[in-house]
Structure 1
Amino acid sequence: MVLQLSTFHWEGGAGVAAARLHQALLHAGVDSHLMVSQISRPGPQTTAWADSPWKSKKAWGNFVLERLSFLPYEKDKSVRFAFSPATAGADITDHPLVKQASIIHLHWINFGFLSLKSLEKLFALGKPIVWTLHDMWTFTGGCHYNRGCERYLSHCCYCPYLKKPGEYDIAFAQFEKKLALYQNTPLTLISPSRWLDDLVQKAVLTSGKPSQAIPNCIDTDFFKPGNRAEARKALGLPADKKLLLFAGANTQDPRKGFTYFQEAMRAPGLADAEVMILGKGKAENFAHLPVKAHFLGKISDANQMVQAYNAADVLIVPSLEDNLPNTIMEAMACGTPAVGFDTGGIPEMIGHLESGFIALSKSASTLSEGIMWVLKHNADGAVSENARNKVLQLYSEEVIARQYSKLYDSLLHGQ
Structure 2
Amino acid sequence: MRILHISETDYEGGAGKAAHTLHCALRRMGGESFFLAECVQSNDPYTFSISGLRGLPAKVLRRIRSSLDLFPLRRYPLRRPAAWSVGRLPRKLPSLIRRLRPDIIHLHWISQALSIRAIGRLPGPIVWTHHDWGAFTGGCRCPVDCRRFTTGCGECPLLGSQRSDDLSHRVCQRKQRYWQRSRIHSVAVGSGIANDIGDSLILGHHPCTVIPNGIDTDIFRPLDRLQARASLGLNPHEFIFLFGAFTVNTPLKGGNLLADALSLWGRQNPSLPARLVTVGRGSISGTPPSMPVTALGLISNPGQMARIYAAADVVVVPSRIESFGLMAAEAQACGVPVVAFGETGARDIVIHMETGFLPKSWDAEAFAEGLDWAANLSADARRRIAMNSAKNIHDKSSLKTIVDAHITLYRQLLSDATAKAR
Structure 1 window deviating more from structure 2 (332-341 vs 163-172): it is 163-172
2:194 and 2:70 map into 1 onto residues whose CA distance is 28
* 1:396, distance to aligned residue in structure 2 (A): 0.6
Aligned 8 A contact 2:7 2:107 in 1:
yes
Secondary structure of 1:244's counterpart equals strand
2:105 and 2:301 map into 1 onto residues whose CA distance is 30
1:121 and 1:71 map into 2 onto residues whose CA distance is 29
Letter in 1 for 2:119: L
Which residue number corresponds to residue 41 of structure 1?
Answer: 42
Which residue number corresponds to residue 386 of structure 2?
Answer: 384
* 1:296, distance to aligned residue in structure 2 (A): 2.2
Which residue number corresponds to residue 375 of structure 2?
Answer: 375
**Cα displacement string for residues 150-179 of structure 1 (whole angstroms, at most 9, x for unaligned residues):** 111112100112144411101110111111
Matches within 5 A, 1:150-229: 150-229=147-226
Secondary structure of 1:297's counterpart equals coil
1:306 and 1:163 map into 2 onto residues whose CA distance is 41
2:359 and 2:156 map into 1 onto residues whose CA distance is 30
**Cα displacement string for residues 316-354 of structure 1 (whole angstroms, at most 9, x for unaligned residues):** 101001111111111111111101012221111101011
Matches within 5 A, 1:327-338: 327-338=327-338
Aligned 8 A contact 1:5 1:34 in 2:
yes
* 1:20, distance to aligned residue in structure 2 (A): 0.9
**Cα displacement string for residues 356-382 of structure 1 (whole angstroms, at most 9, x for unaligned residues):** 010123222221222222333352211
Letter in 2 for 1:177: R
C-alpha spacing 1:356/1:402, structure 2 compared with 1 (3 Å): same
**Cα displacement string for residues 121-150 of structure 1 (whole angstroms, at most 9, x for unaligned residues):** 22xx3x001100011111111111112111
Secondary structure of 1:158's counterpart equals coil
Letter in 2 for 1:397: L
Which residue number corresponds to residue 101 of structure 1?
Answer: 102
1:70 and 1:191 map into 2 onto residues whose CA distance is 28
1:12 and 1:409 map into 2 onto residues whose CA distance is 29
Matches within 5 A, 1:175-324: 175-265=172-262, 266-267=264-265, 268-271=267-270, 272=272, 273-282=274-283, 285=285, 288-324=288-324
C-alpha spacing 1:99/1:232, structure 2 compared with 1 (3 Å): closer
1:334 and 1:89 map into 2 onto residues whose CA distance is 43
1:200 and 1:152 map into 2 onto residues whose CA distance is 9
Secondary structure of 1:189's counterpart equals strand
Letter in 2 for 1:279: G
C-alpha spacing 1:410/1:359, structure 2 compared with 1 (3 Å): same
Which residue number corresponds to residue 91 of structure 2?
Answer: 90
Instruction: Say yes or no: does 1:70 pair with 2:73.
Output: yes
Aligned 8 A contact 1:63 1:113 in 2:
no
Aligned 8 A contact 1:134 1:323 in 2:
yes
C-alpha spacing 1:332/1:102, structure 2 compared with 1 (3 Å): same
C-alpha spacing 1:133/1:378, structure 2 compared with 1 (3 Å): farther
* 1:236, distance to aligned residue in structure 2 (A): 1.6
C-alpha spacing 1:70/1:98, structure 2 compared with 1 (3 Å): farther
Secondary structure of 1:359's counterpart equals coil
Secondary structure of 1:37's counterpart equals strand
* 1:275, distance to aligned residue in structure 2 (A): 1.6
Unaligned runs of 5+ in 2: none
Structure 1 window deviating more from structure 2 (271-280 vs 342-351): it is 271-280
Aligned length: 408
1:176 and 1:349 map into 2 onto residues whose CA distance is 35
1:118 and 1:161 map into 2 onto residues whose CA distance is 26
C-alpha spacing 1:371/1:120, structure 2 compared with 1 (3 Å): same
Secondary structure of 1:328's counterpart equals helix
1:347 and 1:219 map into 2 onto residues whose CA distance is 20
Secondary structure of 1:220's counterpart equals coil
Instruction: Say yes or no: does 1:356 pair with 2:359.
Output: no
C-alpha spacing 1:239/1:116, structure 2 compared with 1 (3 Å): same
Aligned 8 A contact 1:280 1:298 in 2:
yes
Letter in 2 for 1:234: S
C-alpha RMSD over aligned residues: 2.1
TM-score (norm 2): 0.91
Letter in 2 for 1:244: F
* 1:89, distance to aligned residue in structure 2 (A): 4.8
1:323 and 1:277 map into 2 onto residues whose CA distance is 21
C-alpha spacing 1:136/1:28, structure 2 compared with 1 (3 Å): same
2:269 and 2:27 map into 1 onto residues whose CA distance is 45
Structure 1 window deviating more from structure 2 (273-282 vs 234-243): it is 273-282
Aligned 8 A contact 1:92 1:98 in 2:
no
Aligned 8 A contact 1:63 1:88 in 2:
no
User: Percent identity among equivalent residues?
Assistant: 29
1:87 and 1:378 map into 2 onto residues whose CA distance is 55
Which residue number corresponds to residue 146 of structure 1?
Answer: 143
Aligned 8 A contact 1:74 1:161 in 2:
no
